[in-house]
Amino acid sequence: MAIERTFSIIKPDATARNLTGAVNAVIEKAGLRIVAQKRIRMTKEQAETFYAVHKARPFFGELVEFMTSGPVVVQVLEGENAVAKYRDAMGATDPSKAADGTIRKLYAKSIGENSAHGSDAPETAAIEIAQFFSGNEIVG
Ligand code: RTP
Ligand code: MG
């Protein structure tokens, strides 16, 4: 199995409750390495670009407002099968459906304010990583 990278966001509901380290503990326990990380305040433009795929969805405005409502921590995670591994570690989008021990089961407040983002495929991971990091900021 090849080493893969995925893109992660610790969302504003989690940073507001000082849970960056707690989320990182789940990430590292899952066998993923944090190879880049920075705390930023997303602009409206960045959030709209990032979630452009959801533009037509009824929750889009609310989603952009939430993602720009406070600091986020953007990350690149590396490991075997990193995309799927991180989706497993995050749990289902709706925290009431997330498995025990997952980030969303442990920490998410609701389906919208659900503490973490993880890329859904290696191709989207590459696009998302490039939106927030330059190559020399990632140290594998
Ligand atoms: P993400 O992209 O953030 O990793 O989450 P995901 O793949 O599990 O879920 P996705 O369907 O891509 O939805 C993106 C984010 O939009 C918000 N959402 N709100 N109010 C709602 O019904 C609703 N549905 C989705 C969540 O923040 C979700 O993570
Ligand atoms: Mg998604």
Q: Which domains does the chain have, with CATH numbers?
A: 3-42+71-137 (3.30.70.141)
CB 5 within 8 A of CB 78: yes
Question: Which of the ligands is closest to the CA of residue 90?
Answer: 1
Mean pLDDT (the chain) is: 98
| pLDDT in the model for residue 48 | 98
Give, for ligand 1, the residue of 87, 114, 131 to mutate: max count of ligand atoms closer than 8 Å to Cβ: 114
pTM: 0.97
**Mean pLDDT on 30-41:** 98
- Say if ligand 1 is within 6 A of residue 93 CB: yes
Indicate the DSSP class of residue 5. E
Listed in sequence order, the residues at least 6 apart from 136 whose beta carbon sits closer than 8 Å to its beta carbon are none
| pLDDT in the model for residue 2 | 83
Structure tokens at 59: 């929750």
| pLDDT in the model for residue 93 | 98
Q: Exposed, middle or buried: residue 106 (CB in 10 Å: 0-12, 13-18, 19+)? A: middle
With H, G, I as helix, E, B as strand and everything else as coil, classify residue 94: coil
| pLDDT in the model for residue 103 | 98
The annotation status of 114 as a binding-site residue, yes or no, is yes
